[in-house]
Chains A and B, each alone.
Chain A
Amino acid sequence: MMKARGDLPAWVDVGLIPLLNLIVALLFAGLVVLIIGENPLTAMWIMLKGAVGSIKGWGYLLYYATNFVFTGLAVAVAFHAGLFNIGGEGQAYMAGIGAATIGLGLEFLPWPILIPLAILASMIVGAFWAWVPGVLQAKRGSHIVITTIMFNYIAISLMQYFINYWFRPVGKMAVESREITGAYIMSFREVAREFFGVRLSSSPLNFTVFLAFLAAFVVWYLLWRTKLGYEIRAFGLNPNAAVYAGIKPDRIIMVTMAISGALAGLLAVNEVLGVQHRLLLEYVGGAGFVGIAVALMGRSHPLGIVLAAMLFGLLYQGGSELSFAIPTINRDMIVVIQGLVILFMGALEYAFRPMLSAMFFRVED
C-alpha cells in the first residue's frame, strides 16, 4: 500500500511553487531572448514598464485580464465537474450574436434595461453553445473535449455567415455589423472625459472589469456555498460517490456546461459592447484558449484565476510593448515567451513538488 507523504503547508502550495515556476519560466524566456542576441534584462524591464509602469499600461493589462477571467472561470467551473471544456473560444464568439442582436435590435429601449438584456443574451447564447456538447456527452457519451473543439470550428464558420449575411449593413465593405450605440458600455477614458473633464491616456478598459470581479465572486459562491456547487464538486471528484449520493450525472454535466458557456459568453460583453461596439470577425483572438492556462495556473479557484488572468494580462500588454521597442522580438517571440509561462505554470505545475517536499521534511525531522 502506498502512503502519501505528508502535505506541504498551504503557503508553499499556493505561493512558493507558483513563484518558483514563474521564475524558471522567466529564466528560460531570458535564455531565448539571449539566443536571438538581445539583452534579457532590458527586455524584461521593457515588458514590466510597458504593463505596469503607466496608467495606460494598467488599463490594457486589466482589459486583457477581464477577458481571461471570464474564460478562465468558464474552464474552471467545468473542471470542478471533471469536464474539460476547451470550447470557450467558440462559446465566447457565438455569444456575440446575443450581444449584437439585442444591442442592435432593441435600440429603442433605455440603456439601463438594454445593457442588462444584452449581457443576459450573451450569456444565454454562450450557455447554449456549451450546453449542446453537454447534452451529447450526457445522453450519447460523445467526449466533451472532441465536441467542444468541433464546436469551435462550427462557431467560426457560422459567425462568418451571420456577420456577412445578417449583421453587415448593405453597402458596407468591412465584414462587421453597424455600430452598436444603445448598448454601449463606456470605457473609463470616455467616462473621465465626458463627466469629469479629465483626460486619461487611451485604453479599452471599461466597466466590464467589475462584471469580471463579480463573476469570480459568484462562481466562488456557487461552488462552495450552494447545493448545486456541492453536487458539481462531488461529481467531479468522485462520480461513483456522487451516484451513491443520488446526484444525477446527466443533469450535472448539462447544467455545468451551460454555466461554463455562459461565463465564456461574458467575454462578448467586454469586446462587443465595451470595446469594439460592433460585431466583427475573430474578436475573441485566442482568449478562450488562454482561459485554459489561466484556470490551470489559478488552480481552478476564482481568486487564483483573477491573479493568473492579471499575470497573463501583463504578459500580453508587456509583450506588445516589447515588440514595439525591440523589433527583433516580434509577435511570435512573445507567443514563445507566453508558451513557456504556460508550460511551467500549467503543465509542469508539480515539477518542483517532490523536491520541495523532500527538502521540507528533512528540515522538519
Chain B
Amino acid sequence: MTSPAIELIGIDKRFGAVHANNNVSIAIGQGSIHGIIGENGAGKSTLMSILFGFYHADKGEIRVKGQPVNIRSSSDAIAHGIGMVHQHFMLVENFTVLENVVLGAEGGALIGPALAKARTELQRLAHEYEMDVDPDAIIQDLPVGLQQRVEILKALFKGAETLILDEPTGVLTPDEADHLFRILGTLRDQGKTVILITHKLREIMAITDHVSVMRRGEMVAHFDTARTSVEQLAEAMVGRHVLLQVDKGPSKPGEMVLEVKNLTWKDKDGVARVDNVSFSVRKGEIVGIAGVSGNGQSELLDCIAGIARPASGEVIFEGKEIGHLADPAHVRAEGLAHVPEDRQHRGLIKEFDASESEILGWHNDEALGKGFRLDRGKVLARAKAEMEEFDVRPPDPLLKSGKFSGGNQQKIILAREILRDPDLLIVGQPTRGVDIGAIEFIHKRIIRLRDEGKAILLVSVELDEIRSLSDRILVMFAGKIMGELGPEANERECGLLMAGVSKDAA
C-alpha cells in the first residue's frame, strides 16, 4: 500500500487557555479529495495553518509521503509540495495573471526570463487541468471565480501536489461552484490531492471521497463520503441531533411596512451600485434578497438603514420617506432594527464588553438612564436578560465582545435588535460564520418574529438560507433586481438570475 500524501499524527496546539488542536491525527490519501468539516472554532483553520507553516505545533508530527518533515514557514510547505488557496485571495489586484503567478518565484534580478518561462508553463497547466485564463488580464478585471482559478494555478505553478482550499465557495455563484468542483475532480484524476475545508455539508457530499469531522479541537470522526449522510455529518459536527429543515408555516402578509421606489445609490466614482431598485415588504412576511456578494445588497441595506444617502429614489417606511435623511438614529427611533452584514466591523465593538455592545445604537434609550446619564446597573441588567434569552455563551455581560465566538457574537446582535420589538427588521448575512447549532436558533427567532406580524428583509449569500426562510425571493445582480421568485423556486432558477440571466432570456 502506498503511503498517504499527507499524514498528521498527534498534532497538539494551544493558544493560551484555548486548546485549538488536541491530539489530532488524520491521513489524507494520495489522489483523493478529502473534506474537513467542523463548526467555527473547531480547529480546522489552525490545523491547516500548522500544515502550511503559519503556526508550529506544540506536539505531533507531519509526514509527507511517509517522510517526517519539519514545516516552519509557508516556503517550507511549498517546498514539500503543499499549496493553499485562502478564503480571501492573496493576489495583487493591479498585476496581471502572469505577474501574480510568478510572485514569490521570480528567480534572479530580471523579471523577463521568469515571465517567459511562466507563460509556457501556465499554458501547459491551463490545458492539462482545463483552467483557461488569459495570462495578460489584470486581476481586478476578472470575476471572482476566475481570480480563484488564478490562485489554484499559482499553487500548481509552484509545484503543489497537495492543494488546501479554505471555504472556496463562499464567494461563488452556484454555477461557478460547480465549475470549481469539476476542476477539483480533474486535479484528482491527474493524481493531485485536495483538502477541502468547508462548512457546507452539501459540497462535502457532492465532491469529496473522504470526510473528517472536527469538534472542539478534536478529530471526532472519519467517514467515507459514499457511506455517510448529511444528517450523520451534522450530528458529528455539533454533537447532537440537528434540525436541518426550517419549520415554518405559510406567511400571512398584512399591510405595507417598507416601500422602496426607484432607489439608486452611486459610489464615489459615480457608478450606480444600487440601480433603480423598487420593492416592498409587508407585515408578517420575510422577503429575501439573494445574490452573489458584492452585487449591491450591502449598499441597498445601508440606504434603508440610513447609513448611506441614496442618489435618487425613495425609501418609505410606514408612510414616511426616510431615505433623504440618512440618519440611522432617526430610522431606529421610527421602529426599524438592523442586523448588519459585517458584525465584526459594525455590529459590535470588539473592545467593548458584551453589555456595552448589547446597547449599541440603542444607547440613547431613556430606560437605560435619564438624560445624559447611562446607568451601568441598568445596562448590565438588560444585557444579562437578553443574553440569557438568546442563550449567549458564556452569559457574561462583562466579557469583551471580541472574545465570543462568531455565533455568540451574532446572537448578541440579534438579541439587541429583535428584542427592541421593531416593526421592520433588516438583517444581513444572519448566519455567516455561525455554527450549525446557532444557525438553527437564529432561524427560529427570525421566523418567530415574522409570526408575530413583523416585517423582515433578509439579505444572504447562502442560497439555501434564502430559500428556506423567505416567503418571497428577490435576486440582485449588478445593482439591479433581476426578478422575483416564490419560496418554491429551485436552485437553477435562482442561480441563473444570480448570474445575471433574466427570466425572459433563460
- A6–B331 Cα gap in the complex (Å)? 39
Q: Are B361 and A5 in touch, CB under 8 angstroms? A: no
Of A226, A227, A237, A247, the contact of B351 (CB 8 Å cutoff): A237
Does A3 sit within 8 A of B, measured CB to CB? yes
A361 to B361, CA, bound (A): 38
B376 in contact with A225 (CB, 8 Å): yes
* In the assembled complex, A54 has its CB within 8 A of some CB on chain B: no
Bitwise, A3-29 to B at CB < 8 A (1) or not (0) is 111110000000000000000000000
Determine the distance from Cα of A361 to Cα of B305 in the docked complex, in whole angstroms: 45
Partner of A3 from the list B15, B305, B372, B376 (CB cut-off 8 Å) is: B15
Give Cα A243–Cα B15 distance, bound, in whole angstroms.
Answer: 34
Q: Are A6 and B372 in contact (CB under 8 A)?
A: no
- Report if A244 contacts B (CB, 8 A): yes
Q: Identify which of B327, B329, B331, B363 contacts A230 (C-beta below 8 A).
A: B363
Assess whether A245 is in contact with B351, with CB atoms less than 8 Å apart. Answer: no
Find residues 348-397 in chain B having any chain A CB closer than 8 Å to their own CB: 348-352, 356, 359-361, 363-364, 369, 372-374, 376
Task: Count contacts on B: residues with CB < 8 A to the other chain.
Answer: 40
A240–B361 alpha-carbon span in the complex (Å): 12
Is A241 located at the chain interface by the 8 A CB criterion?
yes
State whether B15 touches A230 (Cβ < 8 A).
no
Q: How far, in whole Å, are A103 and B116 apart by their CA atoms in the complex?
A: 81
The chain A residue sitting closest to B48, CB to CB, is: A1
Within 8 A of B (CB), among A227-279: 227-231, 233-234, 237-238, 240-241, 243-247
The chain A residue with its CB closest to the CB of B20 is A3
A244 near B374: Cβ-Cβ < 8 Å: no
A241–B372 CB distance below 8 A: no
Give CA–CA (A361, B49) in the complex, Å. 21
Q: How far is the CB of B341 from chain A (nearest CB, A)?
A: 10
B45 contacts partner chain A, Cβ-Cβ < 8 Å: yes
How far is it, in angstroms, between the C-alpha of A361 and the C-alpha of B58 when the chains are bound?
Answer: 13
On whether the beta carbons of A225 and B17 are closer than 8 Å, the reply is: no
**With A3-B15, A241-B345 in contact, do A230 and B356 touch (Cβ < 8 Å)?**
yes
Asked if A332 CB lies within 8 Å of chain B CBs, one says no
CB–CB B360/A6 < 8 A: no
Q: Which residues of A contact B347 (CB under 8 A)?
A: 241, 244
By the criterion CB–CB under 8 Å, are A246 and B329 in contact?
Answer: yes
Which of B15, B46, B306, B331 lies in contact with A5, CB distance below 8 A?
B15
| A231 engages B363 (CB within 8 Å) | yes
Query: Cβ of B363 and Cβ of A240 under 8 Å apart?
Result: no
A5–B16 touching, CB < 8 Å: yes
The total of Cβ contacts below 8 Å across the A-B interface reads 88
Known: A244-B361, A245-B361. A230 touches B374 (CB 8 A): yes
Q: A321 CA to B186 CA in the complex, in Å?
A: 81
Give CA–CA (A87, B161) in the complex, Å: 59
Smallest CB separation, A245 vs chain B (Å): 4
Given the known interface contacts A5-B15, A245-B328, the answer about A238 and B374 at a Cβ–Cβ threshold of 8 Å is: no
Q: A1-B45, A231-B363, A246-B306 are in contact. Are A226 and B373 (CB under 8 A)?
A: yes
Q: Would B376 and A234 count as touching, CB distance under 8 A?
A: no
Residues of B within 8 A of A6 (CB): 15-18
Known contacts A227-B374, A245-B360: does B46 contact A3 (CB below 8 Å)? Answer: yes
**A225: chain B residues within 8 A (beta carbon):** 373-374, 376
Task: Give Cα distance in the complex from A244 to B329, angstroms.
Answer: 9
Residues of chain A contacted by B332 (CB below 8 angstroms) = 246
| Secondary structure type dominating chain A contacts | helix
Tell me whether A194 is interfacial, beta carbon within 8 Å. Answer: no
**B248 located at the interface, meaning its Cβ lies under 8 Å from any Cβ of chain A in the complex:** no
Question: Beta-carbon contacts of A334-365 to B below 8 Å, as 1s and 0s?
Answer: 00000000000000000000000100010011
B20 lies within 8 A of A241 (CB): no
Whether A361 touches B346, Cβ cut-off 8 Å, given contacts A245-B363, A246-B327, is: no
> What count of chain A residues pass the 8 Å CB interface test?
29
Question: A7 to chain B: closest CB distance in Å?
Answer: 8
Q: Is the CB of A244 within 8 A of B328?
A: yes
B363 and A238 contacting across the interface, CB-CB below 8 Å = no
Q: Give A334 to B429 CA distance when docked, in angstroms.
A: 58
Q: How far, in whole Å, are A226 and B356 apart by their CA atoms in the complex? A: 12
Alpha-carbon gap, A3 to B338, bound state (A): 29
Partner of B360, one of A234, A357, A365: A234
In contact, A3 and B18 (Cβ under 8 angstroms): yes
**In the complex, A4→B361 CA distance in Å?**
28
Distance between B93 CB and nearest chain A CB, rounded to angstroms: 21
Is B14 an interface position by the 8 A CB rule? yes
Partner of A227, one of B49, B305, B364: B364
Across-interface contacts of B479 in A (CB, < 8 A): none
Query: B307 within 8 Å of A by Cβ?
Result: yes
Asked if B340 is an interface residue, CB under 8 A from chain A, the answer is yes
- Name A244's contact: one of B17, B46, B338, B351 (CB within 8 Å): B338
Given contacts A227-B363, A227-B364, A237-B351, contact A244 B16 (CB under 8 A): no
**Nearest CB in chain B: distance from A259 CB, A:** 13
Known: A6-B16, A226-B372, A246-B328. A234 touches B352 (CB 8 A): yes
Cα separation A233 to B350 with both chains bound (whole Å): 12
Task: Find the residue from A7, A227, A243 having the highest chain B CB count within 10 A.
Answer: A227
Interfacial chain A residues near B45, Cβ < 8 Å: 1
- Min CB distance A141 to B, Å, is 14
Minimum distance in angstroms from B54 CB to a CB of chain A = 8
Q: Mark B37-49, 1 if CB is under 8 A from A, else 0.
A: 0000000011001
B238 to chain A minimum Cβ distance, whole angstroms, is 21
CB distance from A179 to the nearest CB of B (A): 40
Establish whether residues A237 and B352, one from each chain, have CB atoms under 8 Å apart when the complex forms: yes
Contact A241 B373 (CB under 8 A): no
Contact mask for chain A residues 31-57; partner B; CB cutoff 8 A; 1 contact, 0 none: 000000000000000000000000000
Which residues of the partner chain B approach A240 to less than 8 Å between Cβ atoms? 342, 345-346
Whole-angstrom distance between the Cβ of B346 and the nearest chain A Cβ: 4
CB-defined contacts of B342 to chain A, threshold 8 Å: 240
Note all chain A residues with C-beta closer than 8 A to B361. Answer: 244-246
Residue of B nearest to A6 (CB): B16
With CB as the reference atom, state the residue of chain B lying closest to A360.
Answer: B16
> Complex formed: what's the CA distance from A4 to B376 in Å?
28
Contact with B along A288-327 (1 / 0, CB 8 A): 0000000000000000000000000000000000000000
Q: A245-B328, A245-B329 are in contact. List 8 more A-B contacts (CB 8 A).
A: A5-B16, A6-B17, A227-B373, A230-B374, A234-B349, A238-B350, A246-B329, A246-B361
Nearest 7 CB-CB pairings of A with B? A6-B16, A246-B329, A246-B328, A245-B361, A244-B346, A6-B17, A238-B349
Contacts A/B (CB < 8 Å), 19 sampled: A4-B15, A224-B376, A226-B372, A227-B372, A231-B363, A234-B360, A237-B349, A240-B346, A241-B345, A241-B349, A241-B360, A244-B328, A244-B346, A244-B347, A244-B361, A245-B361, A246-B327, A246-B329, A361-B16
